[in-house]
Each structure stands twice: as structure tokens, then as C-alpha cells.
Amino acid sequence: MNPTVRRHLFSTPVVVAALGYLVDIYDLVLFGIVRIPSLRGIGIPDDQILTEGIHLIDAQMFGLLIGGIVWGIFGDKKGRLSVLFGSILLYSLANIANGFVTNVGQYTVIRFLAGVGLAGELGAGITLVAEILPKEIRGYGTTLVATVGMFGAVLAYFIAEAFDWRVAYFIGGGLGILLLIMRIGVFESGLFAKAKQTAASRGNFFLLLTNGRRLKKYLGCILIGMPTWYVVGILIFLSPELGAALGIAEPMVAGKAVMFSYVGLAIGDMASGLISQWLKSRKKVVRLFILLTGLQVLLYVYAPIRSTEFLYFMCVMLGVSVGYWALFVTIAAEQFGTNLRATVTTTVPNFIRGTLPALNFFFVAAKDQWGILNAALIVGAGTIIIALAALSLLSETFHNDLDYIEPES
């Protein structure tokens, strides 16, 4: 690797953004890993664990939805670093508080607050990295952030295996506080500093809604990512119930399924980022991975092999297929000017996460009508068709120069 490229990729802002996303993913998926033991630990009967678990996931995702808007606007008005400091402080304190819950009401409120905090990390980090790196290598930078980040789920699994679920939450909060200290000294994006000197409206969310061209791009950026949280939020988080429906005798362990899927996500994020750099195209690679997701969903349900080992292998493969997370967030960053970039890059992944309650609603409704496996297939097919259609709304962004301002008209 060229020494200059290496110096850029392993600069302090990139490394700290990568570690921040690792802690973010740790906290984001920890509930999915400790869902069953934590709900049992506060006295929830086994026959209510699925419905209460979906309710708590929905609360967290709603927090991500609200937090995405708040932190995105804040990032364009006050700076990328302000979000990186504020969001990690909130979700670290919230996750420490999770270790003290004694009932579902408390759990719901604190998962919501954790979601609000978690919403700021990825968007601000990707925006900062995209703006400080030369355009020829920014794809490598965002790939590095995402690949390192995905191993947060692996860390969460092993921590949850080694410690009580309450301690696992305390450790997540402690890691966030340590990272907060590490962020002291990270410098602000030069493009943001330049934009501050202009009279341009910064962080005006309504600029995305009042211009047809921008709205089309914005919706396209959101919808291409829907399959990712369909896979994680339904096929992976609910793998114990889906495994039982497939007739697998040995129960699936949700935490292990999450861990294996995020190993796959790390592989997929690295592969999609490198292939994108090689092809000099974002769109071609995203289309390939969306189609691969459809194939993996069919194998998950219809493959003739019925064993826990095979289903865990499918969790890895599903993770690989939706491992274009960093790629579509990079696309979002490259589609918009500096005065709206943090707003877009922070809201897009969180609006995608925020689609999970709607997907869960359709999944539960379809499950009651056609059974759990058919419900998973129906919802999955819908997300893949929508994502492919949305991708057609977007232009290629690989060569885009990011030093420009979005006009107010």
C-alpha cells in the first residue's frame, strides 16, 4: 500500500470513527443477543418473550429514527465532532442504565433513549471520513470503518456468553465512555469549516422534502438499504422461532446467530467496498448484493439441509449478502452537498433501521395468516423488490467531488 494512502487511512479520525462504530454495533445488537435471558430475568413468561422482544426492538428502532433526524441536523449546524461526542455520551449512559431495569416499562424507555444515542455514530463518522479523505480512496476509508465496526457484534456475543446480561450492558457503556476520552483531539472536517463561512442554510431537513430531485435521491438512499434490516431484524433476531418452524430439533441461540451474521457482514462490507473501488462503481455492487440477498433468503427457507450448523452457516451468508451497509451510506454522503451531508448520512441509515417496526407489523400480520416462514418470505420479497426499484432512482457517485453546497431552491 502506498505510504501516503496508508497515512490517510490510518489517521486518527478514521481509526476513532472505526472504533466508535464498533462500540455502536456492540450496543445496537446487544439486546438481540440477550433478548431471551434479559426478559426472563425481569420475569417475562416464555410465551410472551417473542411479542415483548419485538416491542422492545421497535422502541429502540423508533429511538434511532428520532435520533437520526436530531443528530443529522445537529451535525450540519454544529459540526461532525459535536455529534460524535454527544451521541456516544447518551448511548453509553443509556446502556449502563439498561443494566438496572426491573420491568418492561423501564426497559422500553431506556432502549428508546439508547436508540436515540446510537443514531448519531455511523452517519457522523462516515461523513467525517468521506470529507477528510481524497475521493480516490474514500471508499477504502468507509469500508475500514464498517468492517471494524461489524466486529462489535462478535465482541457483544462473547461478552454476553461470559457475563450476566446486566454486566454485558455495563461493559458496553464503559467502552463508550473510554472511546469518548479517545476522541479528544480529533479534528473537524475542513469542508464543514469551509461551509460555515458561507451563508448557506445548513442542516435544513425541509430542503430534502421541498425539491423533487433531492427528495427522489433521498428516498432512493433510504429504500436501497431495507433488505439489510429485514435480514438482521427478522431472519437473525428471530432465528430461534424460525429454526423451530423449519423443524430443527436443537434450538437456535439468538446471540450466536447475531454473532455469525455480523462476521458475514464484516466480510461483506470489506468485499463490497473493495469491489466498488475495483469497478469504480457503487451502484453495480449494491445491485449485485441485493440480488445475492434474495438468493440467500430462498436458501435459508428452502435448502433441504435441516440442522443448526447449516442455519448458522446461512446466518454468515445472509450477513455477507447484506454487507453493503457502508457502501450505501457512502452513496448517501456522495449524493448531497456539505450543508446537508451530515443530515442525510445520519438520517438515512436510521430511517432504514426505523423501517423495522413496519416490517415487523407486516411480518406479524402475515404470520397470523400464512405462518411464520411464509411471512418471512413475503416481507423479504417486498424489501428486495423495493430496494432494486429505488436503486434505479440514483446516479453513480464514485467520482463525485464533495466540495459543494446544496442550493436552497
What domains are defined for the chain?
3-182+199-391 (1.20.1250.20)
Buried b vs exposed e over 241-276: b needs ≥16 C-beta within 10 Å? bbbebbebeeebbbbbbbbbbbbbbbbbbbbbbebb
Give the model's pLDDT for residue 2.
67
Q: How many residues does the chain have?
A: 409
Q: What are the C-alpha distances in Å from 384 to residues 192, 237, 264, 289?
A: 35, 19, 19, 10
- Confirm if 241 and 372 have CB atoms less than 8 A apart: yes
Q: CA 290, 393, 327, 344: dihedral to nearest 10 degrees?
A: -130
Q: Which residues contact 84 (CB under 8 A, 6 or more apart)?
A: 17, 20, 120, 121, 124, 125, 128, 183, 186
- Other CB atoms within 10 A of residue 210 CB: 11
Distance CA 152, CA 24 (A): 7
- In this prediction the pTM is 0.80
Tell me what the mean pLDDT of segment 347-367 comes to: 86
297-306, pLDDT tens digit by residue? 999 888 888 8
Cell matching residue 262: 455480523
Q: Above 70 in pLDDT, residue 134? A: yes
Give the model's pLDDT for residue 68.
86
Give the model's pLDDT for residue 287.
96
251-260, pLDDT tens digit by residue? 888 888 888 9
Q: Which long-range contacts (CB under 8 A, 24 or more apart) does 357-364 make?
A: 357/58, 357/61, 357/62, 359/226, 359/229, 359/230, 359/233, 359/234, 359/383, 360/54, 360/57, 360/58, 360/233, 360/234, 363/234, 364/54
Cell matching residue 235: 431472519
State percent of the chain over pLDDT 70.
Answer: 96
Element (H, E) at 383: helix 372-391
Give the model's pLDDT for residue 332.
87
Q: Write the single-letter amino acid at 343.
A: T
Tell me what the mean pLDDT of segment 77-87 comes to: 82
148-200, pLDDT tens digit by residue? 888 888 899 899 999 999 999 999 999 999 888 887 767 666 676 777 777 66
109-129, pLDDT tens digit by residue? 999 999 999 888 877 888 888
Give the three-class secondary structure for 248.
Answer: coil
Q: Above 90 in pLDDT, residue 57? A: no
